[in-house]
Chains A and B, each alone.
Chain A
């Protein structure tokens, strides 16, 4: 059978989770799933909507107007102004927002620049459109920042979109305002859409991170090219609810809406009610969670420091991932990150994601998620350490 889906595969991350689920006694630090349950006040609002008979019907295709108004208000507090009726679309998670945007803007013969290492599914989504992913390596030497001159050399007449995840998955990097502006200025000149995935924007662990983080979407001069994507999955522990949103200028929103409509009709209404409640979360409600993630980050950093003969790492400023580099020279029998993670799952029963899943620059790295519980993190890191000690 032919079709665009022929080239698509289940992402490596999900494949590993499937394998881990079938491996008794395994600990997974692979997929980025918060260990927390969705907060009670969100669940309560959903119960009310469910009992009130409000969730059975389709919402408007771009999403419940009440939710879009709340999103618009939330954006205003972040220094971004978008029209709730025409410029905001509620989607089935951020990946649907990204895929719908790509389908609306790219096709056969086009190219999409993806920073690497970066989220696994971007490449697959690009291929679904018939476009070609072009990888722009991030610079590990500079803490996984963008090499702007090298990045800009990749832009040409075939480039239709750029995908930037900021803060970045898997590296936890926060891209600088200067770098973002340099890319955006070039994109604007060539009418290239920038898909800005900011799903980890709430995970800013220290003062430097909060000071350095800046969104391209907050500068109105880039409205014509920026599609910003956000998800309720991470900060609100709602990965299973499948709800996110995008916002962009009117014309682009209209094109994306047509694709969104034909893909899903609308985001699940029950999840939209959850999103509405989530938007009412105060900063003080989030602080305990952030504090716990910060503590988990320290746990992982300490473990990695103990594994310094075998791993180098950059402490992530954001997200809940770290992306250590394997010191191949000190590892017997090491071949590839994928082989290593297979071995780790089979023999040590710990699931991690191979760096190669995140693009060419990811090879010889591992992604470790600290979204899981402290118990899982401690045990998982212990098993990883045990492997290195026995294979050094």
Chain B
């Protein structure tokens, strides 16, 4: 797509997204990081659903300047042509004006791979709840973890006072994030008992993960200890959403 057309499209999508958010007021939960965004997003959405919330998550990994609005508006162009995009925009308008089947909560990813990416995304939406997953040097863009952490700091500063920021206690950037000026509540999550929200006694069997959360036994039919940490984060998100 030519740059002017892309710029125009991004502007349209941003305006439609803002209109949608103003009219329908869904709670936006944003997952940001380099590794683990998708599984964390899934666990959060599943947890919210079990707590009875109407949650929407776009099935595609749309998390950029163009993708994030598509994710919020829950549309997808039928083809990446002029006609396809017109169709998507029309569908977006339809979703804005309809009051049926609107979700309470929308969980999105914020994709950052280069400096300045976050400044573009926060112009579209600043999530009320932000969950930070693992940060490493971006394997494809080559941008350093430190630079990407700086991007996330920009987001942390903008989360509103009524919101919540959850950071991985095991991240080497946890101290940096904690010391970043912020007005929202900030909590740590993870496997360590030093985390504000944690799980314990994590073990794995052929059937998945087993651990304890607030004294109760939990089994997740997933593999990878990080899922236990995601569970903790998702519980904290769900507690916040229920209180909101």
Contact = CB atoms under 8 A, between A and B. Distances in A.
Interface string B207-236: 110000000000001111010000000000
25 contacts: A40-B80, A41-B80, A52-B113, A54-B113, A54-B140, A59-B139, A64-B139, A64-B140, A65-B34, A65-B35, A69-B36, A70-B38, A72-B39, A73-B38, A73-B39, A81-B222, A83-B224, A84-B39, A85-B224, A85-B226, A86-B223, A87-B223, A224-B206, A280-B61, A282-B59
A367 B140 CA distance: 42
Nearest to A58: B139
Across chains A and B, which 9 residue pairs bring their CB atoms closest together, nearest first? A54-B140, A83-B223, A83-B224, A220-B206, A69-B38, A280-B60, A65-B35, A223-B206, A44-B80
A69 B223 contact: no
Given A40-B79, A221-B206, A223-B206, A81 B139 contact: no
Interface in A41-91: 41, 44, 49, 52-55, 57, 59-60, 64-66, 69-70, 72-73, 76, 81-87
A276 interface: yes
Chain B contact residues, majority secondary structure? loop
A81 B223 contact: yes
B141 interface: yes
A2 B226 CA distance: 48
A269 interface: yes
Interface string B113-149: 1000000000000000000000000011110000000
A59 B141 CA distance: 11
Given A73-B42, A84-B39, A280-B61, A55 B140 contact: yes
Interface in A202-250: 220-221, 223-224
Contact of B140 (A49, A73, A85, A223): A49
Select the residue from A72, A82, A221, A282 with max chain B CB neighbours within 10 A: A72
A44 B6 CA distance: 14
Nearest to B220: A81
A89 B65 CA distance: 30
B238 to A, nearest CB: 20
B116 to A, nearest CB: 14
Nearest to B140: A54
A40 B140 CA distance: 22
A65 B223 contact: no
B144 to A, nearest CB: 14
Contacts of A70: 38, 61
A25 to B, nearest CB: 36
Contact of A60 (B139, B208, B224): B139
B141 A52 contact: yes
Interface residues of B, number: 24
A79 to B, nearest CB: 9
B38 A81 contact: no
Contacts of A224: 206
Contacts of B226: 85
Contact of A84 (B80, B139, B224): B224
A76 B80 CA distance: 29
Contacts of A49: 140
Contacts of B36: 69
A278 to B, nearest CB: 12
Given A49-B140, A69-B38, A269-B140, A82 B80 contact: no
Interface string A99-138: 0000000000000000000000000000000000000000
A70 B113 CA distance: 18
Contacts of A83: 223-224
Contacts of A65: 34-35, 139
A49 B138 CA distance: 13
Interface in B92-121: 113
Contacts of B207: 220
A84 B59 CA distance: 18
Interface in B29-87: 34-36, 38-39, 42, 59-61, 79-80
Nearest to B34: A65
A76 B46 CA distance: 13
A73 to B, nearest CB: 6
A245 to B, nearest CB: 15
A355 B42 CA distance: 46
A70 B37 CA distance: 10
A44 B78 CA distance: 13
A261 to B, nearest CB: 16
Contact of A69 (B39, B142, B208, B221): B39
Contacts of A282: 59
Given A41-B80, A220-B206, A280-B61, A57 B224 contact: no
A61 to B, nearest CB: 11
A220 B221 CA distance: 10
A57 B140 contact: yes
Contacts of B39: 69, 72-73, 84
Interface string A274-310: 0010001010000000000000000000000000000
B38 A66 contact: yes
A86 to B, nearest CB: 7
A84 B223 CA distance: 8
Most buried by A among B79, B206, B226: B206
Nearest to A48: B64
Contacts of B79: 40
B222 A76 contact: yes
A280 B139 contact: no
